[in-house]
Structure 1
Amino acid sequence: MYLPKQFAEPRLEELYRIIREHSLGMLVTHTAAGLEANHLPFLIDAENGSCGALQAHVARANPIWREVTEGDPVLVVFRGVQGYISPNWYPGKHETHRRVPTWNYEVVHAHGTVHVHDDEKFVRGVVARLTRQHEVEEAQPWKMGDAPPDFLAEQLGHIVGIEIRLTRLEGKRKLNQHHEARDREGAICALEGRGNHGLALAMKETAR
């Protein structure tokens, strides 16, 4: 991706954070039919290899797990906070009118190789970890043990595991870093007033 130096995010811990907080990734593969994109909730295993690994599952009816070849290069895209920025939010605009609209965002491009796991143990582990991650804030978190064993086994049989062994992570955080402080503050205040607190907070942290 186009990555100006001021927007580059090289810190692995930040890239992992974006993946964990915005875990629906777009898996891009190149098959005999051309480019394919599948949208899957991923887990990040930071301890697996130098860049980590991603784990997910797909429906058995989804042909993608049969169309890829073991070890094929793939790309997974994760989009973090994002939003439109109006030039009217910049104090400097009202003095010179030399400001334009833009879009601020965080994104991670995860490059790696794809590996299919058509086995119950791997799939069960992925579902269990995904469940724990996303049920943690529930008053009574759902767990796999809540479902009857025969029903759970049947459901697990309908999915196939996917692992992406990461070779490279690219991060971009375009958050008004190249604007003067008062214009950044004006945009942050406007975003907060419109309820986009996530993007406003990311811009505050980048400014610090």
Structure 2
Amino acid sequence: MEPLDSQQMHIPHAYEMDSRQVRSFVVKNPFGHLITESLSGLRVTATPFIFETDADLEMTLVGHIAGRNRQALEMSENMKAVALLTGPDAYVSPRWYRVKPDLPTWNYVAVQIRGVLIPVDDLKERQNILARTITCMERGRAEPWSMDEATSGHVERLLPHIRAFRLRIERMEGARKLSQNKPLEERLNVIGGLQQTGEAGALCIASLMQRDAEREKAETMEATHANR
């Protein structure tokens, strides 16, 4: 097995996300999977990932998992790790193609972030990471909740039972596969098919594809007018 740091995400050029898109995706879709490798094998835990600050070029994610989780117990300084975050996804049926028949496929949005894991064992720093997570997730709500509202002593009792971490980012990659390899007419047919399913993931993918299609139409019209 190749070590985690030697593997790159497979992304055909047409589907590649730029760093701005990746960062925006992480902020809007923070829940994912922490993947590490130790002598006992691979460990995977579902958990949210939050940028440590709001700086545009922040290169550290923070998070926490249960302290009795085997992965938490095996965390070590400078351990290689991957954060895998996935967005909406949907099956694309060949029935929706009208111009040129094709095979089934899957449209999706996904991000992989690779870096070095730094365990956080200081209780005050753990509390700061919890506070940062809450602040980010409560942001924009009509009445954002803060950790100060927790029952007296509850946070202090919790801290020894979690293990927080920082993930120093070395590489961020993302794939946004939305049928970009198909002509606009076919993509519109796919959008219609996805909308007809009524499935949550399909509707989200259809919405993303619709935005891309509208932007492409606007850019085409602008280019046409500019050349007149």
TM class, shorter-chain normalised?
0.7 to 0.9
Counterpart-to-counterpart distance in 2, 1:140 and 1:46: 22
Where in structure 1 are there 5+ consecutive unaligned residues?
A: none
**Distance (whole Å) between structure 2 residues aligned to residue 158 and residue 86 of structure 1:** 47
Q: Give deviations 1:33-84, integer Å, cap 9, x for gaps.
A: 1111111111024667966111001111113233132101111111122111
Give 2:184's match in structure 1, choosing from 175, 181, 186: 181
Q: Is the 8 A contact 1:177 1:206 kept in 2?
A: no
Residues 139-185 of structure 1 show CA distances to partners (whole Å, capped at 9, x for unaligned) of: 43322111123122112232121110001111111110000111101
Unpaired segments of 5 or more residues in structure 2? 1-8, 217-228
In structure 1, the residue matched to 2:87 is 80
CA RMSD of aligned residues (A): 2.1
- 1:75-105 per-residue CA deviation (whole Å, 9 max, x = no partner) reads 1111122111112222225xxxx22111001
User: Deviation string for 1:123-143 (max 9, x for gaps)?
Assistant: 212211222222335443322
Residue aligning to 1:109: 112
Is 1:199 aligned with 2:167? no
Alignment partner, residue 226 of structure 2: none
Find out whether 1:128 has 2:125 as its counterpart. no
Identify the match of residue 57 of structure 1 among 40, 64, 74. 64
**TM-score when normalising by structure 1:** 0.88
Higher helix share: 2
Contact kept in structure 1, 2:32 and 2:85, CA below 8 Å: yes
Aligned residues: 203
Q: Is the 8 A contact 1:119 1:160 kept in 2?
A: no
2 CA distance for matches of 1:126 and 1:68? 17
Q: 1:87 corresponds to which letter in structure 2?
A: P
